[in-house]
Structure 1
Amino acid sequence: MLFVTSEIADFVKAGGLGEVSAALPRALRQTHDIRVLIPGYRQVTSGRVVHPVASIPAFAGLPACEIGRIDMADGLVVYVVLAPELYERDGTPYLDENGEDWKDNDIRFARLGLAAAEIASGVGDLDWKPELLHVNDWPSALAPGYLAWRGETMPTLITVHNLAYQGLFERSRLSALGIPDHAFRMDGVEFHGQLSFLKTGLFYATHVTTVSKTYAHEITTAEHGCGLEGLLQTRAREHRLTGIVNGIDDSWDPKRDPLLAGRFDENDAKARRANTVESRDLFKLAISRGPLFAIISRLVHQKGIDLVLETAEDIVAQGGQIAVTGTGEGRFESALTELAERHPGQVGVRVGFDEAEARTLYAGSDFLLMPSRFEPCGLSQMYAQRYGSLPVAYRTGGLVDTIQDGETGFLFSELSKNGLMDGVRRAFDSFGSKKKLAEMRRKAMKRPPNWLQSARRYGGIYQKLMAKQQAMTA
């Protein structure tokens, strides 16, 4: 199998996709020959030995490229699309140093998708050919289309990590990307007069997965379907849409984590408290007998940061403390910083992200505030549970699938200040009962799934798709 992604945490990570791309292929390697394909960003190629193993010709407006190979220490094979003019730049995989979309993102990620399709077709003399193509989100979503337009019948699977990001470009870009004119229709790549990379993948892929069962249902509704609900309803009726909850990798183990101030298990509350002390020190919070609420998140509207700001005064008034770490929209960064200035010792904000600080805060906080407006899967709530911090979350997406309300966290149903405060009040009540809190914490620490469970479900889909393909060609 060829697993195609625009980011992988080993080298470069902009969000949850990077973590999934690092963990899921490794879990799948136990039963499948799965290899990863990623663009050759500077973060990938700098200071590493990348062995060129194949050449891919230019096509339409897409430049020629080489395919390099990196063999990871654990045996995972990572193929790299080597096109320095497209990928070796400062900034993130998607944005320049000013936070703006790269103006040639259509070329950059069409090159990734076409390279994947050509590897699948045997172009380039790679000396290896996959039996199935697994692409992720819009940056690699053209690959199933390129295969279809060339008459290839290899089974393909696309995983939607966030339907809101669709990769929309002008119709005039079809020629440069090598997309045939006949594909620009409703039953094809067209989306409200534009070219949609994501819709291309959803339409041409053999099967669609999302990162939780609830999100798989939500995206078939007008509220969460982002205009693609009709196509996704069709895929659901055809039994070609499946929700599979993400896992968390084995490094999230409070008994072994070297980044923690104190290591612990579900029965060792005393050792866990060392992380609470360290968290308060890091965020300049006063010694307190009240609960510590954490926010470890991108500071953006989707994550419900505005609701946190509306409820913060009430949390502090009731004796709670708040610690925030993350980056995002300037308005939220400023508002949170001002909140901390109004409540010194009770609210601490560190704009930025540091892995050790985040892990310490997961392990040191009592509750994680996660009022996301939508959350395809979410990893933060699983990290928090694994480290004994109970999530307070809106009832949506993967949060529904991973939080047992009243047992491993708290779910609220009204997306408003009152809704969030209802969850917060329940958290305060549980904090007032040491027995109840300890029982919930123990359940939460045992709750999050590991990647092997997810890998088994993906592997089952792989086998069905390949068996169907073999039956068609027999």
Structure 2
Amino acid sequence: MKVLFATSEAHPLIKTGGLADVSGSLPKALKALKNQVRIILPAYRAVLDKVADKSPKHIARVEVGGCGRHYQADVLEVKAKSFPSLGVPIWLVDIPELFDRPGNPYLAQDGTDWWDNGERFAVFSKVVAEIAMGRVGVKWQPDVVHTNDWQTGLVNALLSLEQDRPRTVFTIHNMAYPGNYPESLFAQLELPWSLWHMNGVEFWGHFSMLKSGLIYADRITTVSPTYAKEICLNEYAYGFEGILQERSQKGHLIGILNGIDDQVWNPEVDEFIAHQYSVEKGRVSAKKKNKAKLLEEFSILNHVNEEEVSANFDRWLEAPLFGFVGRLVWQKGVDVVLEALPNLLKHTDANFIFVGSGEKYFEEKLMEYSQHYPKRIWTYIGYSEKLGHEVEAGADMFLMPSRFEPCGLNQLYSLAYGTPPIVNFTGGLADSVIPATSENLANHLATGFVFYEPAAYAFEEAVHSALALFAKKRTWQKLQKIGMQQSFDWRNSAQQYLKVYQGEES
């Protein structure tokens, strides 16, 4: 099949979260199954900087309407060989007025949303629709257009108006971001008014790009089976439960667990970590060496003086080390961890490493803890791909107390790296982590630790269970080994997506 994969970010070109990891891995897995795939995304300044020496080829030019003005969009192609980790050609939609800016895809450098995000991604969606219909002179037309999250939701609505169009699939990576804008934006974009009604893109008087995908895509997928069920409930649906329930009943809403790129997240070949290892070779000794490297690095990052490092290092190396990598926001349960920390510091010898950024309150509280407990807690505020890999390889356990988690990827990375995760029972976490009960351990099924309410007391109980098992070295090594033997590569997920593309239920 010919698949046009439309996304607002793709690793390694540009990344703010899990969408980029999926967009950087699934297309390559689809190609491995003998499909033709093109990734299409905006030509942000940061992306153009990365491809500047790759000789991108101009393949099309299209004029498209925005808010009271027209834009000239140039489509540039970057060859698959330029980014082997992606493995497929990349099409960049170059509209300098909308995308040639500093900052990340959605936020200005001061951390606020770009004021014209609605126009930016609506215009991008218009270009994608024109390409999908074969109207820009590119001698390649898709059988399927796969769109992702609200930034490309409008593509589905636009294609629904066309004859002889490609099939459309819309993937929800997180329902919490609806892409809602005023009705005035819809009018200024000169979109067809036939789309503006309660069973169309209108949502309580606003223009919803997420709803565009939910209503008009031929099939909807989301990134885990449990999340597909959860988003049909009021608590997780953000007002869209009626639509999702109806589409689920028709068999049009399907949950497919994300995979991971086992050439990137694999301790046997990981270039970010100091000591490589596998489930068969070096797992115990290499993880301890990586732990030592991680502790040394974070001691420097947190300005712990050399005398204190020397005096405490052996104790740090033997003490259990918990890692956290992710956004510092309420969704991720950071407040749950903060509430539990005083008791855990008082009643255990555990140490903690945090990597991430997000809400200022959480950033400041973690830095405050690091300053008060410089021999127990280390924090890095910001995003670092390298540190993310090093934490997975060097920590003993990984924390993911998310209130909701459409799929989650770090728990999958943790399993691959022999770092048992501690997770709340929700979304993809529920689908991928099997609790370390005595029965599950005996049956070689256990992979981590699960609690069932996003509350400090429940989280603390799970941590204490993990610490009790950590003290039993042989049992702990068995748990690590079971986790590392799990298979979460993209091949199985890609095969399920092919069924969806073909109109079958997954």
Instruction: Provide the TM-score with structure 2 as the length reference.
Output: 0.89
**Structure 1 residue 448: Cα displacement:** 4.5
Distance 2:146 2:44 in 1: 20
Structure-1 residue corresponding to 2:442: none
Identity %: 36
Mapped to 1, the partners of 2:181 and 2:383 lie a distance apart of 32
- Matched to 2:36, the amino acid is D
- Which residue of the partner structure matches residue 22 of structure 1? 24
Question: Does residue 427 of the first structure (1) align with residue 435 of the second (2)?
Answer: no
1:51 aligns with 2:57: yes
* Cα deviations by residue, 1:266-298 (Å, 9 ceiling, x for unpaired): 243012210111122122274323210111111
Q: Letter of the aligned partner of 2:26 in structure 1?
A: L
* Cα deviation digits, residues 102-143 of structure 1 (max 9, x gap): 111111101111111111111111111111110000001100
Output the amino acid matched with 2:95.
A
What does 1:12-411 correspond to in 2, within 5 Å?
12-30=14-32, 31-46=34-49, 47-48=52-53, 49-59=55-65, 61=67, 62-73=70-81, 74=84, 75-151=87-163, 153-250=165-262, 251-267=264-280, 268=282, 269-284=284-299, 286-287=312-313, 288=315, 289-317=318-346, 318-406=348-436, 407-411=446-450
- Residue identity in the other structure for 2:75: I
Which digits, 9 at most, give the CA deviation of each residue in 1:391-440, with x for residues without a partner?
11110000011101111111100211111011111111111111211111
Cα distance in 1 between the residues matched to 2:387 and 2:141: 42
Secondary structure class of the residue paired with 1:323? strand
**Aligned partner of residue 64 in structure 1, secondary structure:** strand
When residues 272 and 376 of structure 1 are mapped into structure 2, their CA distance, relative to the original with a 3 A threshold, is same
Distance 2:381 2:499 in 1: 42
- TM-aligned CA deviation for residue 152 of structure 1: 5.0
- Determine if contact 2:43/2:99 at 8 Å carries over to the other structure: yes
CA distance in 2, matches of 1:178, 1:204: 19
Q: 2:28, 2:18 → 1: CA distance?
A: 16
Contact 1:385–1:448 under 8 Å retained in 2: no
Per-residue CA deviation, residues 333-359 of structure 1 (Å, 9 max, x unaligned), is 110111111112111111123222221
Secondary structure of 2:464's aligned partner: helix
Instruction: Say if 1:264 and 1:271, in contact at 8 Å, map to a contact too.
Output: yes
Structure 1 position 64, deviation (Å)? 2.8
CA distance in 1, matches of 2:365, 2:66: 48
**Aligned residue for 2:441?**
none
Aligned-pair CA distance for 1:60: 5.6
Amino acid at match of 2:328: L
Change (3 A) 1:110 1:152: farther
Give the superposition deviation at 1:20. Answer: 0.7
Change (3 A) 1:312 1:60: closer
Name the CA distance, whole Å, in 2 between partners of 1:450 and 1:385. Answer: 12
Q: Match for 2:332: what amino acid?
A: K
- CA shift for structure 1 position 154: 2.5
Counterpart position of 2:303: none
1-structure distance, mates of 2:392, 2:65: 48
User: Retained in 2: the 8 A contact 1:390–1:408?
Assistant: yes
